[in-house]
């Protein structure tokens, strides 16, 4: 967001634009996306990790202004063609970080607010970090360093302050996401070897540890938290072959059922932009009996939105309170549509992807399920 746009939106929000936008978008479904919730602020910053005081404020805000329902209930109503209440919202968490149990869950329980948590099941009950978080932890462990990745045609990457450190992480993360899994893993192993040789202390690792099945079971027993699959290894599905796609989805779904006895009827795509899933993924979901999925494509969900591509509003460490109000109300969604030549919204924390890549869906396949067309009436 440019400085001028930010100033305009902030001024409009202060004048009550969010309240107006909430009313105008009362018939659209809001799904909020979180990742990690920290017990207190850290010396480092990671978009996916939010301090608990901000999280509490956000959940209190959602409870005051929205009808927050379990996502499974929303999907059940949509499939049955039943209307949703006005200003309906759902809360989701991706990955299954331990601090979802240790920090977020007590706040949700205290405020009696339901949520759905999606687990990368291959990491549950282990000390391993998701590869994206492992990359961050390795780089974050040094105030200054140079990584030599020239043998992988990635050149050298040096940082000497927080800004350059963040730039190195962002650059490498973007590059690694585009690579085949085996190639990406070789580069990540080389990065870890170089940091280990430099005397890695890894002080940030705990904040990225994943929960245990016992943690998930305790939350499930509360009646407030639903658990759903998020693949086994958190790989970008469109980069995988057909068998790998099926295995990542089916095995993740089976692990949730085996360890918890029940699973959310929804699935969360890793990374979740339009380039990260395709019709092969939809076919695997259908085979596993999963009727709905959430993306990271930003925006509210109109009644015509496919329940296999539900949009979410992503909340990160840089989301200020005025921005949070503007985002969840649909005001930012409107601005993105006005600024986009084709009227589409942008992906969360990333560029607009209008079309699927070459290996993705073709127009000859059957359409994905749509949300029920019954609209909740707007309040007067």
- The answer to whether position 370 is within a domain reads no
| Contact (CB, 8 A) for 317 and 43 | no
The verdict on residue 193 lying in a domain is: yes
Q: Are residues 121 and 135 in the same domain?
A: no
Is it the case that residue 325 has pLDDT exceeding 70?
A: yes
Antiparallel, parallel or unpaired: β 145-148 and 156-159: antiparallel
Asked whether residue 226 falls in the same domain as residue 163, the answer is no
Q: In this structure, are 151 and 256 located in the same domain?
A: no
pLDDT-derived band at 7 (thresholds 50, 70, 90) equals confident
Closest CA to 256 of 133, 124, 71, 132: 124
Cα–Cα distances (Å) from 166 to 2, 132, 154, 169, 174, in that order, read 20, 13, 17, 5, 12
For residue 237, give the CATH number of its domain: 3.20.20.370
Res 5 pLDDT > 70: yes
The H or E element containing residue 186 is helix 181-197
Could you report the per-residue pLDDT of 183-235, keeping only the tens digit for each? 999 999 999 888 877 665 545 678 999 999 999 999 999 999 999 999 999 99
The residue segments making up the domain with residue 244 are: 3-126+211-339
Which of 109-123, 231-245, 344-358 is the least confident region?
A: 344-358
Do 278 and 258 share a structural domain?
yes
Q: Is residue 354 part of a domain?
A: no
Determine the length of the chain.
380
In a shared domain, residues 118 and 164: no
Contact 165, 186 (CB under 8 A): no
> Which pLDDT does position 344 carry in this prediction?
57
pTM here? Answer: 0.88
pLDDT for position 339 = 75
C-alpha to C-alpha distance for 193 and 266, rounded to whole angstroms? 38
* Tally of domains in the chain: 2
Q: Which of 297, 305, 311, 274 has the alpha carbon at shortest distance from 367?
A: 305
Tell me, yes or no, whether 309 and 166 share the same domain. Answer: no
Residues 217 and 330 in one domain: yes
**Which contacts (CB < 8 Å, 24+ apart) does range 176-181 have?**
176/131, 176/135, 177/236, 177/271, 179/239, 180/239, 181/235, 181/239, 181/240
Three-class SS state of 282: helix
How far is the CA of 90 from the CAs of 17, 32, 113, 283, 286, in angstroms? 22, 6, 9, 25, 23
pLDDT digits 0-9 by tens, 332-374: 888 887 777 555 555 554 332 322 222 233 333 333 444 432 3
């Amino acid at each position: 967001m440019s400085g001028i746009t930010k100033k305009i939106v902030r001024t409009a929000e202060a004048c009550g634009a969010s309240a107006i936008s909430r009313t105008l978008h009362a018939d659209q479904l809001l799904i909020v996306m979180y990742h990690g919730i920290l017990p207190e602020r850290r010396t480092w910053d990671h978009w996916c990790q939010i301090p608990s005081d901000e999280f509490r404020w956000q959940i209190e805000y959602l409870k005051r202004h929205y009808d927050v329902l379990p996502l499974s209930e929303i999907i059940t109503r949509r499939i049955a063609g039943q209307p949703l209440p006005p200003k309906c919202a759902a809360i989701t968490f991706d990955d299954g970080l331990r601090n979802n149990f240790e920090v977020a869950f007590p706040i949700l329980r205290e405020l009696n607010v339901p949520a759905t948590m999606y687990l990368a099941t291959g990491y549950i009950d282990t000390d391993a970090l998701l590869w994206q978080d492992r990359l961050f932890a390795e780089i974050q462990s040094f105030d200054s360093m140079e990584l030599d990745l020239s043998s992988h045609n990635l050149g050298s990457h040096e940082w000497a302050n927080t800004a350059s450190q963040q730039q190195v992480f962002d650059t490498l993360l973007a590059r690694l996401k585009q690579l085949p899994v085996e190639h990406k893993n070789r580069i990540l192993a080389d990065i870890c070897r170089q940091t280990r040789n430099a005397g890695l202390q890894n002080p940030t690792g705990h904040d990225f540890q994943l929960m245990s099945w016992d943690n998930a079971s305790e939350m499930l027993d509360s009646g407030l938290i639903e658990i759903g699959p998020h693949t086994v290894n958190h790989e970008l599905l469109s980069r995988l072959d057909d068998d790998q796609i099926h295995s990542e989805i089916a095995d993740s779904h089976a692990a949730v059922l085996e360890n918890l006895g029940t699973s959310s009827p929804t699935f969360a795509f890793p990374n979740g932009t339009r380039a990260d899933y395709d019709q092969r993924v939809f076919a695997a979901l259908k085979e596993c009996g999963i009727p709905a999925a959430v993306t990271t494509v930003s925006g509210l969900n109109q009644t015509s939105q496919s329940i296999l591509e539900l949009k979410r509003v992503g909340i990160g460490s840089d989301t200020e309170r005025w921005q949070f109000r503007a985002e969840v109300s649909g005001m930012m969604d409107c601005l993105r549509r006005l600024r986009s030549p084709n009227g589409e919204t942008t992906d969360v924390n990333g560029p607009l992807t209008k079309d699927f890549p070459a290996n993705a869906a073709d127009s000859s396949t059957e359409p994905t399920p749509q949300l029920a067309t019954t609209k909740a009436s707007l309040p007067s």
